[in-house]
Amino acid sequence: MSIQHTSSELKLSELDKEVRDILERYAISPKQFVKFKNQFTTKTADNYIIKMILDSEARTYGSKGHLEDAISVYNKLATFIATEDKNNPIETIRNMHRLSLRQYSRLGYNKVRIQNCGAAGCRECKAISDKIVDISEALKKMPLPNPLCSFDLYRNGHSYCRCSYEPVAGSIKTTNKKNKYDYSLFRKYLVPAAILILIITTVFYFINL
């Protein structure tokens, strides 16, 4: 899917069918592709441009708090890396899991259960299946995608871990942040202020004696 063109600027009309088909499959507008491509002064591979567009789209969604959308774009990017790029999408899958953990935490869950990708899953993934982990712990250690996974979904020589997290019912957080905050505010300002007032009144009392 490489394009040979004589002028340095790529024009929309110059896009060949093969590239257009791939862009359509990954819901990227040809106009956006051309715009990105022309930002590079050196000849840049089409695959690299597509990965960059999807990655920046996912990051934009993530930074705006649209986690659901960001997760779906990362999923698309992982498929692209594995199928078109024939590469290892582990980093992208990890980004996707990080967002799904954040999403469950935002919904109020504390714990998640690791779900195996079913009968097709490898032995390494079956070994961690059904394990329940704290979301905070999972965000630190990132057990998914399983680094030991050997499931070569796209037969490209790279593993593609399809394990996922499922929120654990009954792990909804019950801490009341507002009360905690009010209490700390009370300790921080009101107690020292009361002591100060007590000292001042005592001093004035003795001065007036």
Q: Least distance to Zn ion from the beta carbon of 164, Å?
A: 9
Q: Select the span of 49-57, 96-104, 139-147, 173-181 touching Zn ion (CB under 5 A).
A: 139-147
Q: Around Cβ 183, how many Cβ atoms within 10 Å? A: 10
Q: Select the span of 9-17, 141-149, 176-184, 186-194 touching Zn ion (CB under 5 A).
A: 141-149
Q: Is 125 in the site for Zn ion (CB under 5 A)?
A: yes
Q: Least distance to Zn ion from the beta carbon of 126, Å?
A: 9
Q: Select the span of 27-35, 104-112, 147-155, 177-185 touching Zn ion (CB under 5 A).
A: 147-155
Binds Zn ion (CB under 5 A): choice among 76, 77, 163, 165: 163
Contact assessment for residue 33 and residue 53, using Cβ atoms and an 8 Å cutoff: yes
Please give the Cα distance from 141 to 209 (Å, whole number): 67
Beta strands (DSSP E) in the chain are: 111-115, 132-134, 164-167
DSSP string, 102-116: HHHHHTTB-EEEEE-
Complex with Zn ion: residue 40 or 154, whichever CB lies closer = 154
Binds Zn ion (CB under 5 A): choice among 53, 89, 149, 165: 149
Q: Select the span of 12-20, 24-32, 128-136, 158-166 touching Zn ion (CB under 5 A).
A: 158-166
Tokens of 135: 């979301």
Cα-to-chain-centroid distance, residue 107? 15
Complex with Zn ion: residue 62 or 145, whichever CB lies closer = 145
Please give the Cα distance from 52 to 80 (Å, whole number): 11
- CA 48 → CA 43, 140, 205, distances in Å? 11, 29, 79
> Could you tell me which residues are beta bridge partners of residue 165?
114
* Size of site (CB under 5 A) for Zn ion: 5
Q: Is 161 in the site for Zn ion (CB under 5 A)?
A: yes
Q: Is 78 in the site for Zn ion (CB under 5 A)?
A: no
Complex with Zn ion: residue 53 or 144, whichever CB lies closer = 144
Residues in contact with Zn ion by CB under 5 A are: 125, 146, 149, 161, 163
